[in-house]
Structure formats: C-alpha cells, structure tokens
Amino acid sequence: MTVVAIIAFSLLAVAAVLAVARLMRPGTLPDRLLGLDLLVLISVAALGTHVVWTGSGEFLDVLVVAALLGFVGTVFIAGLIQDRPR
C-alpha cells in the first residue's frame, strides 16, 4: 500500500508543480485563480491519499473544511476581480 501511496503522492506533486507553473506563465488574473483553485483541490486530494494510505479517519474533518475553503476563496476573488479592467 505504501508503494501505491508513493506513486499517488508523486503524481499529485507533478500536478501541483504544473499548477504552480500555470501561475508563473503570462496570463490574466482569472488564469492564476484557476491555478490556485486547482492547488487547493490537489491539497485536498493529498489529504485523501493520506487517509487511503493510513486508513485512519482522523483527518477527514480537515478535508471537509479545505474543500469548502477552496470554493469560498475562488468565489470571493472572482467577485473582487469582476469590475476591474484587465
């Protein structure tokens, strides 16, 4: 099970690096917001793989909160950048 977890974590690491690379590339502000939203989802999935690896449910509350915070953050910033000229 640890080998599977190592593979899963490395896949998530590759996805996280690509998402951060998205922030670096030239693009509009919403592009960066997408990268950050994906980063939050990747961190939630990393917690999920930890739960799968250890089989213990103590981190599940963190997962619930993290999933919701990602959403609230994206919605809040999307509201902020609505009227700003690009």
What letter would DSSP give residue 84?
Answer: S
- Alpha-carbon distance of 49 to 11, in angstroms, equals 11
Question: At closest approach, how far in Å is the CB of 73 from other proteins?
Answer: 9
Task: Calculate the dihedral angle through the C-alpha atoms of 79, 81, 83, 86, rounding to the nearest 10 degrees.
Answer: -160
- Does 68 bind other proteins (CB under 8 A)? Our answer is yes
- Alpha-carbon distance of 12 to 81, in angstroms, equals 29
- Does 69 bind other proteins (CB under 8 A)? Our answer is no
Tokens, residue 29? 């502000």
- Count of residues of this chain found to bind other proteins when the rule CB under 8 A is applied: 54
- Does 21 bind other proteins (CB under 8 A)? Our answer is yes
Q: Are 34 and 22 in contact (CB under 8 A)?
A: yes
Instruction: Summarize as ranges the residues that interact with other proteins (CB under 8 A).
Output: 1, 4-5, 7-8, 11-12, 14-19, 21-22, 25, 27-28, 30-31, 33-35, 37-38, 41-42, 44-45, 48-49, 51-52, 55-57, 60-61, 63-64, 67-68, 70-71, 74-75, 78-79, 81-86
